[in-house]
């Protein structure tokens, strides 16, 4: 823990760590949901969808890393047991049991919309109190917004294609 770096945080550090731990669990679950979805998805436009899911998986993992680093800087210990992820997560985990592209896209869009709300809230809570976490949350939010748009535009193309070929 950086002592001065932690002293300048103008909010309850425990409360801040709780927000970060929850986001940490969300990121791991999002990573796994994308990673597995990319392996098993089926249907039209599969190749484009796989490429997007794989890229998102990599980025969710990088978010987990950013959040972990911040937890450690603040003197916390990132959740050590995956079994705890379910208890802490804001956004949960949607198992890709129906592997049709449309279903996988919709599940992940829902996840991104939840992630957007999580980081928007973190930004609001930290903006005048903790510039370091604030900055991290803005960086992640930018990517979550991009993820939502990537998936929604794939879904739009898919629906167009399906309706035109009917
Ligand atoms: Fe993320
Ligand atoms: Fe995302």
Task: Tell me how far apart the terminal alpha carbons of the chain are, to the nearest angstrom.
Answer: 60
Range 96-114 average pLDDT = 98
What is the CA(147)–ligand 2 centre distance, in A? Answer: 5
Range 91-111 average pLDDT = 98
- The per-residue pLDDT for 137 is 98
Ion ligand 1 contact residues with beta carbon within 5 A: 27, 60, 63
Ion ligand 2 contact residues with beta carbon within 5 A: 112, 144, 147
Range 58-68 average pLDDT = 98
Tens of pLDDT along 117-137? Answer: 999 999 999 999 999 999 999
What is the CA(142)–ligand 2 centre distance, in A? Answer: 9
- The per-residue pLDDT for 76 is 97
What is the CA(31)–ligand 2 centre distance, in A? Answer: 8
Arithmetic mean of pLDDT over the chain: 97
- The per-residue pLDDT for 1 is 78
45: left (phi over 0), alpha (psi -120 to 50) or beta: left
Angle between helices 101-126 and 46-73 (to 10 degrees): 30
- The per-residue pLDDT for 53 is 98
Decide: 45 and 100 in contact? Cβ < 8 Å. Answer: no
Tens of pLDDT along 133-163? Answer: 999 999 999 999 999 999 999 999 999 999 9
Decide: 97 and 32 in contact? Cβ < 8 Å. Answer: no
H helix intervals, the chain: 3-7, 13-40, 46-73, 85-88, 101-126, 131-164
Is the pLDDT score of 166 beyond 80? no
What is the CA(48)–ligand 1 centre distance, in A? Answer: 20
φ and ψ at 100, to 5 degrees? -65, 135
What is the CA(30)–ligand 2 centre distance, in A? Answer: 7
Is the pLDDT score of 7 beyond 80? yes
What is the CA(134)–ligand 1 centre distance, in A? Answer: 15
- The per-residue pLDDT for 165 is 85
Q: Which ligand is nearest to the CA of 53?
A: 2
- The per-residue pLDDT for 144 is 98
Whole-Å CA distances, 58 to 50, 112, 135, 162, 164:
12, 14, 20, 29, 33
What count of residues does the chain have? Answer: 166
């Amino acid at each position: 823990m950086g002592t001065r770096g932690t002293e300048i945080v103008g909010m309850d550090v425990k409360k801040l760590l709780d927000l970060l731990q929850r986001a940490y669990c969300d990121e791991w679950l999002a990573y796994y949901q994308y990673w597995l979805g990319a392996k098993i998805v089926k249907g039209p436009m599969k190749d484009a969808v796989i490429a997007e899911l794989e890229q998102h998986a990599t980025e969710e993992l990088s978010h987990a890393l950013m959040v972990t680093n911040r937890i450690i800087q603040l003197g916390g210990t990132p959740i050590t047991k995956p079994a705890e992820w379910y208890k802490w997560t804001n956004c949960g985990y949607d198992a890709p049991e129906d592997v049709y592209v449309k279903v996988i896209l919709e599940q992940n869009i829902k996840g991104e919309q939840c992630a957007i709300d999580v980081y928007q809230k973190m930004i609001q809570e930290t903006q005048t109190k903790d510039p370091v976490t604030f900055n991290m949350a803005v960086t992640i939010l930018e990517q979550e917004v991009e993820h939502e748009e990537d998936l929604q535009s794939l879904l739009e193309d898919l629906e167009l294609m399906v309706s035109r070929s009917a």
